[in-house]
A = this chain, B = another copy of it.
Amino acid sequence: MGAEEGAEAEFTPEQLERRQRLIDAAFELGAEGGYDAVQMRDVAATANVALATIYRNFSSKDHLLSAAMIEWTGRLRGRVAQRPPKGDTASEQMIDVLNRACAAMARQPKLSVALIRALSSADAGPVGGRSEVRKSIAAMGDGILSHLEPQVRLDILGVLGHVWYSNLVWWANGRSSFDQVTDELGRACHVLIDPYDRP
């Protein structure tokens, strides 16, 4: 394949297409029935590939779902970044952004749970699930905190990433409600950001 360079493993268009079909199938099944409904045999059937082909592209079910998660957060990030955050203070704006992200997930609860569960799972593959979450937070929040010292900003965003992730995992595992999540996120933003937000 790809007779050109001896470089390294390019992928043929059909391979990319198959891969995408697999991710789409994961979305579809996950949106309907959540994590448990994303069964590898069903994914294979939905995507019209053989079971073994999934494992040529993804090392595990969780890896597949994590790939889907990354695609999804990418889209989400774009949409959230579109309109400027509401609020007078930095913490209010941050809360607004996070709440919008939460709302987006609440609109597809089963899918969100499936993706989050995969992300917090042991073998989510080589995917930087962690850095993905952090990158999303950073991308969404960097502008809001641009008036702070860079180091403080990084630390705050790091902590917020943890709070966000931890809350999502608890929610995905059915141990807290969405209201609790937004409440915790709000309090975290205030206690973290407010002291730095008045010079």
Residue positions of A touching B, CB distance < 8 A: 35, 117, 120-124, 128-130, 152, 155-156, 158-159, 161-163, 165-167, 169-170, 172-176, 184, 187-188, 190-192, 195-196
A175 to B124, CA, bound (A): 10
Chain B residues, CB < 8 A from A122: 35, 117, 172-174
Complex CA–CA separation, A169 to B122 (angstroms): 9
**Are B191 and A130 within 8 A (Cβ)?**
no
A70 to B124, CA, bound (A): 26
Q: Quick one: copies of this chain in the complex?
A: 2
| In contact, B129 and A169 (Cβ under 8 angstroms) | no
Tell me whether B130 and A176 are in contact (CB under 8 A): yes
- B-chain residues with CB within 8 Å of residue A184 when the two chains form the complex: 158, 162
CB pair B155–A188 under 8 Å, yes or no, is: yes
Select one of B117, B124, B166 contacting A162, CB under 8 A: B166
